[in-house]
């Protein structure tokens, strides 16, 4: 039987997917206390991103949002 060739891109994509799954499983198996620490860090990270990227810039001359 002829073997189907899997492209490098597909192999890489499969590898990343499996690594992601392993990581998620590891995260799930952590003790509750550790998971909560990570959860609060994630919230902090989200807040930082929001402040850095999403807040509208102010026009210092007019002192208003534009």
Partner 1 sequence: MADIAKTISVVNQMTADGIIENYALGGATAVIFYTEPIATEDVDVFVHLKPGGNPLMEFQPIFDYLKDKGYEMKGEHFYVEGFPVQFLPTGTELLNEAIDEANEFQLTNEVVVRVMTPEHLVAIMLNTGRLKDFLRIGVFIQHEVVNSELLQSILTEHNLAQKWKDNISKFQS
Least separation, in Å, of the C-beta of 62 and partner 1?
31
- Please tell me whether residue 18 binds partner 1 under the rule CB under 8 A: no
Q: For residues 26 and 57, which CB has a smaller minimum distance to partner 1 in the complex?
A: 26
CA distance 3 to 53: 49
Strands (E), 1-66: 58-59, 64-65
Q: Using CB under 8 A, which residues numbered 26 to 65 contact partner 1?
A: 27-28, 30, 32-33, 35-40, 42-43, 45-46
24 binds partner 1 (CB under 8 A): yes
């Amino acid at each position: 039987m002829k073997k189907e060739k899997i492209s490098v891109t597909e192999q890489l994509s499969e590898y990343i997917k499996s690594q992601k799954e392993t990581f998620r499983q590891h995260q799930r198996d952590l003790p509750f206390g550790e998971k909560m620490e990570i959860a609060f860090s994630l919230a902090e990270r989200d807040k930082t991103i929001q402040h850095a990227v999403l807040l509208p810039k102010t026009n210092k001359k007019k002192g208003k949002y534009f």
